[in-house]
Amino acid sequence: MPVSSLDAESPEDFSRLGSLAEEPNYLVTMRAKGGLTLYYRSDCRFLDSLSGQCRIHNSEQQPQECKDYLASKCWYTHSFASRINSLQIQLSPSRIAALRDASIFDDTNRLYRTPPWERSMEIMRELKGPGQPCPPTLTEMPSRFSGLENHLLMELPETITPKHRDLMKFRLGFPGIWVVGDGSRWAYALPLTKQKGSPALDGLLPRNSPDLRARMEKSRKNGTLLSFHYGNFESFPWDDPEPSPLPLIS
Ligand code: SF4
């Protein structure tokens, strides 16, 4: 599942990116049209593993995001056909280190330029790509959220519109993902298996502010942290519906 674009601006960010790429449940890619993307490697709970078909196809339960997706023009079919292709390169920690070494940073240590696409492909072909995704281990969510320290946080918009609500339904369909919050700020909590105490990794996600984790942590300590998963997300305190699109990365 596509999670987010990623912000990697400094050599230190690239090191953090390497740590994220070590996580078996995540995939980091570089797109030919520019930018880095984070994917969560898990099957949707409604995917029939034998037939490869959606078990809730065209039903009310199926997110509109899925209904609207044009399978005949599926970008993912082509970009995931191989680990390196003209659309996307899948990055392992060693490929991320090589990308950092081949990139140019300015005097303030900000990224100035990554290598041209053809050159990047050449470099990456020399290096081992990411391993196979680990098989999904979580089919049902535990009834309690286990804790913030082993989750990445990605903030939700201030106003949750019907579009966001549908996107939340889609994302929570992937086992392991929660929405947590203190009643006024909300974030997706994405599970990490290797990294503990992940604030440094939060900063790679664009919808993040330095105080988000502190705020959620304070709420957790007070016993007021609210958490939602697929089974109870309809009870989320929805905002006034005022449409404003927040498209999935495509
Ligand atoms: S992601 Fe959407 S289309 Fe795919 S299995 Fe899940 S609900 Fe069905």
pLDDT tens for each residue of 59-82: 999 999 999 998 888 888 889 888
Per-residue model confidence (pLDDT) at position 198: 64
pTM above 0.85, yes or no: yes
Per-residue model confidence (pLDDT) at position 245: 45
How far apart are the CA of 69 and the centre of ligand 1, in A?
10
More confident residue, 77 or 208: 77
6-20, 27-41, 143-157, 160-174: which range is least confident on average?
Answer: 143-157
pLDDT at residue 137 is higher than 50: yes
- CA-proximal residue: ligand 1, atom 4 (nearest): 54
- pLDDT tens readout for residues 81-109: 889 999 999 999 999 999 999 999 999 99
- pLDDT tens readout for residues 148-165: 888 999 999 988 888 889
* φ, ψ of residue 145 in degrees (nearest 5): -75, 130
* 77 torsion bin: left (phi>0), alpha (psi -120 to 50), beta (else): alpha
Q: Which of 127, 74, 135 is nearest to 98 (CA)?
A: 127
How far apart are the CA of 61 and the centre of ligand 1, in A?
10
Query: Percent of the chain at pLDDT above 90?
Result: 61
The sign of the torsion formed by the CA atoms of 166, 170, 175, 179 equals negative
The closest-lying atom of ligand 1 relative to the alpha carbon of residue 65 is 2
Per-residue model confidence (pLDDT) at position 106: 96
How far apart are the CA of 78 and the centre of ligand 1, in A?
18
How far apart are the CA of 98 and the centre of ligand 1, in A?
35
Three-state DSSP class for 193?
A: coil
The closest-lying atom of ligand 1 relative to the alpha carbon of residue 44 is 6
Spatial contact of 185 and 153, defined as CB atoms under 8 Å apart: no
DSSP state of 95: H
* Average pLDDT of the segment spanning 25-33: 94
Q: Where does ligand 1 bind, in terms of residues with CB under 6 Å? A: 44, 46-47, 54, 56, 62-63, 66, 173
Buried b (16+ CB within 10 A) or exposed e, 46-62: bbeeeeeeeeeeeeeeb
Here the tokens at position 211 are: 């105080």
How far is C-alpha 26 from the geometric centre of its chain's CA atoms? 8
Tell me the C-alpha distance between 11 and 17, whole Å: 10
pLDDT at residue 133 is higher than 80: no
With tokens 């593993």, the residue in question is 49
pLDDT at residue 221 is higher than 60: yes
Q: Which of 45, 51, 56, 59 to mutate to test the pocket of ligand 1 (most atoms within 8 A of CB)?
A: 56
pLDDT band, very low/low/confident/very high, at 244 (cuts 50, 70, 90): very low
Three-state DSSP class for 166?
A: helix
